[in-house]
């Protein structure tokens, strides 16, 4: 991170929902080990605070909120769609589809339109919002390492952005999923990888 590029950088928070990050969330039994093990909520809080101090644009990239009738008559469902349907993940107007209470959006933050599958860019206005705010560099954190995070990062590169992954700012269903993202996939296409601490140690404006 270079202070001269802050005005062209955005922190993208992918799916920081209660269903993923809070005790009682529908997928918390699956995510708990890595979320707690890596102190994900604390790290995301620090990232958000650090971004605000540095005037780095914050933008949420939220998954679709499941509602009745969704996926009806679709010609085929991916495992991600099937999983969301089965448990009514991020159920519309429910607590599970709210952002974690310590990770709420504030005035000036942006919220992209909801994505149906993995990439925060696919079939949403994320690229458009980034362009209208003159963003050239994105920093990714949130859930889930090998699915939404990996897909959003790949799209970011294909769309011409400089992409940084926060390696201890992502959770998953097990440690292997995080390891694979950090070691085997992202380094082959992404531009930079930082820890939360390294992100916070970049100079203030």
Chain residues that interact with a copy of itself, rule: CB under 8 A: 69, 73-76, 78-80, 107-108, 113-114, 116-119, 122-125, 127-128, 131-134, 136, 146-147, 150-151, 154-155, 157-163, 176-177, 180, 184-185, 187-191
Cβ-based nearer residue to a copy of itself, 22 or 147:
147
First to last CA, the chain: 12
Could you tell me the strand order of the sheet in which 192-194 lies?
110-111, 57-61, 9-14, 137-143, 162-171, 192-194
Nearest CA to 56 among 172, 138, 159?
138
For a copy of itself, give the closer residue by CB, 45 or 107.
107
Q: Do 195 and 42 form a contact (C-beta atoms < 8 A)?
A: no
Task: Supply the minimum distance, in Å, between the C-beta of residue 5 and a copy of itself.
Answer: 11
Positive or negative: CA dihedral 194, 196, 198, 200 = positive
* CA dist list (Å): 42 to 39, 66, 140: 6, 27, 15
Q: Closer to a copy of itself at the Cβ: 36 or 180?
A: 180
Question: Minimal distance in Å, beta carbon 62 to a copy of itself?
Answer: 12
- Kindly state the smallest distance separating residue 191's Cβ from a copy of itself, in Å: 6
CB of 136 to a copy of itself, least distance (A): 7
Taking each helix axis as running N to C, give the angle between helix 40-53 and helix 28-37, from 0 to 180 degrees, rounded to the nearest 10.
60
Among residues 168 and 177, whose Cβ is nearest to a copy of itself? 177
Helix (H) or strand (E) holding 138, with range, is strand 137-143
Q: Which residue, 2 or 24, has its beta carbon nearer to a copy of itself?
A: 2
Least distance from C-beta 190 to a copy of itself, angstroms? 7
114 DSSP assignment: P
């Amino acid at each position: 991170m270079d202070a001269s590029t802050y005005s062209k950088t955005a922190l993208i928070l992918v799916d920081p929902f209660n269903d993923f990050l809070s005790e009682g969330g529908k997928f918390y039994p699956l995510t708990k080990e890595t979320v707690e093990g890596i102190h994900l909520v604390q790290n995301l809080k620090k990232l958000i605070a650090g971004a605000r101090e540095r005037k780095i644009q914050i933008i949420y990239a939220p998954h679709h909120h499941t509602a009745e009738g969704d996926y009806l008559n679709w010609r085929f469902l991916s495992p991600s769609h099937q999983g969301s349907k089965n448990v009514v993940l991020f159920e519309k107007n429910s607590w599970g589809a709210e952002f974690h209470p310590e990770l709420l959006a504030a005035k000036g933050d942006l919220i992209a339109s909801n994505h149906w599958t993995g990439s925060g860019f696919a079939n949403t206005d994320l690229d458009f919002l980034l362009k209208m705010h003159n963003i050239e560099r994105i920093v990714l954190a949130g859930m889930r390492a090998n699915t939404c995070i990996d897909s959003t990062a790949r799209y970011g590169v294909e769309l011409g952005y400089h992409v940084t992954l926060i390696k201890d700012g992502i959770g998953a269903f097990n440690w292997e999923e995080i390891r694979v993202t950090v070691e085997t996939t992202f380094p082959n296409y992404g531009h930079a990888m930082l820890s939360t601490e390294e992100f916070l140690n970049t100079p203030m404006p």
